[in-house]
Structure 1
Amino acid sequence: MSNKIKAAKNKLIRDTILDTAKKIIEAEGLDSLSIRKLAAQVGYSPANIYQYYKSKSEIIEAVVQQGYQQIINSLRIERLDFDSAEAEIRYKFGKYIESALQNKDYYKAVMLSEKENLLKQTSILKPEFCRNPSAFKLLQELIERGQSQGEFENGNSQTKAKIIWTATFGLIIRLIIEKIDNKEKQLQLIENHFDIIFGGIRKNRQ
């Protein structure tokens, strides 16, 4: 077997393991994942699983990086027709909320976890603890742009970004936990959410 074929086979197996682990986490929660259960669903022995991942923690971390990155990527939609920083934040974070609600079981399982390896992926109040704070920085940069353009009041942009992000997280979690699945109701709450947030940081408050 050539190295290229072997590498492709290994990647396929690793991806299968992660996809199966994600389904278990979404359906039953993080604590329900075990190497034995994972192996049974994949069709391998536990020893086979350990050939590709060193531990359950490594699998969980890989699933988080993969799944959370998918949600975060919704913030990186490229559009050039925004007429204000507020409009861009509303649009991109609206897409973020939409993506989170489409992956609600996984989002809840990951974002409510206190496990340190997961907090390294999701931490916002301590961005220095986060391994990849690029999405948080995007929000902070948009706030700073709004300040420079005279849209938002001056002040600590990092603190404002933390408040917006955590408030948005709270909204998503309540929508999930309270099973608000009606699209019209979701949109109404999301718009009210942004109205209140931006009403508090606009330079010329109305």
Structure 2
Amino acid sequence: MTIEKRREREKEEMKELILSAASDIIAIEGFDKLSIRKIAKKIEYSPAIIYHYFNDKEEILNNVMQRGYKKIISAVSSTEMKNTSPEERLVEMTRNYIEAALNMPDEFMAAQLNKSNEALKHTSWLFKGASKEKLALSELCQCLQDIYKDKEADENTIELTAQMIAVSTLGLIMKLTVERNLVEEQRQRLIDFYSKEIVLRIANGNKIK
């Protein structure tokens, strides 16, 4: 390994250390309590070192949020779902989204419940036209369009339906996160019933006549 490649790897490792520390602090204390000083203390480096890798706390927050969002996008965009029916794809997208969120419960909850403008730039998706800006919502809308392919689907109705599915899914995730001591069998029953029954009812209930 060349010196240049080793330095690049060390740089990435340090950035990962900083972001992981920031994620831990956010999960425990929330976005508002994050500070460069706390990150520095957690990783046992001086604050000056952190500024060598990131311009400020906002840049760190953006990176943390983007990492979480990428996990969600990966969950709802799995290539394994491409050859399934749109209804089956909708079920799998929903289940995958729930499982991805539950794999990072504290971080996910801290992000979704934060009202700061910085966090809302990443977590807001109820505004009109959100499906053109938010990739996860766009994937959901595309799935609904495929379900309605034989009908004259209204774009606004599709987006509203996607937003309502997203809202109800978020509610289930939050409740499962709070009641995290549920027996695993019951947890899976709830996720399966919601994904296979409730979400499809929402989608099919809005099929264009």
Q: Is 1:171 aligned with 2:172?
A: yes
Q: Cα offset for 1:33?
A: 1.9
Where structure 2 has 5 or more consecutive residues not aligned to the other structure, the ranges are none
Alpha-carbon RMSD across the aligned residues, in angstroms, is 2.6
TM-score, structure 1 as length reference: 0.86
CA distance in 2 between partners of 1:69 and 1:127 (Å): 22
| Native 8 Å contact 2:90 2:143 kept in 1 | yes
Q: Is 1:109 aligned with 2:110?
A: yes
CA distance in 1 between partners of 2:135 and 2:206 (Å): 29
Secondary structure, aligned partner of 1:137: helix
Which residue in the other structure is 1:43 paired with? 44
CA distance in 1 between partners of 2:202 and 2:64 (Å): 37
Larger deviation, residues 18-27 vs 165-174: 18-27
Which residue in the other structure is 1:54 paired with? 55
Against the structure 1 CA distance between its residues 98 and 137, is the aligned structure 2 distance closer, same or farther, given a 3 Å change threshold? same
The structure showing larger relative contact order (alpha-carbon pairs under 8 Å, at least 6 residues apart) is 2
| Native 8 Å contact 2:86 2:147 kept in 1 | yes
Against the structure 1 CA distance between its residues 171 and 76, is the aligned structure 2 distance closer, same or farther, given a 3 Å change threshold? same
| 1:77-98 superposed Cα distances (whole Å, 9 cap, x missing partner) | 112442x312111112101101
Q: Residue type matched to 1:182 in 2?
A: V
CA distance in 2 between partners of 1:75 and 1:163 (Å): 16
After TM superposition, list the pairs within 5 Å mapping 1:49-198 onto structure 2.
Answer: 49-79=50-80, 80-82=82-84, 84-126=85-127, 128=129, 133-149=134-150, 154-155=153-154, 156-179=157-180, 181-194=182-195, 195-198=197-200
| Native 8 Å contact 1:127 1:133 kept in 2 | no
Which residue in the other structure is 1:30 paired with? 31
**Percentage identity across aligned positions?**
31
Secondary structure, aligned partner of 1:51: helix
Against the structure 1 CA distance between its residues 62 and 178, is the aligned structure 2 distance closer, same or farther, given a 3 Å change threshold? same
Larger deviation, residues 24-33 vs 113-122: 24-33
| Native 8 Å contact 1:101 1:172 kept in 2 | yes
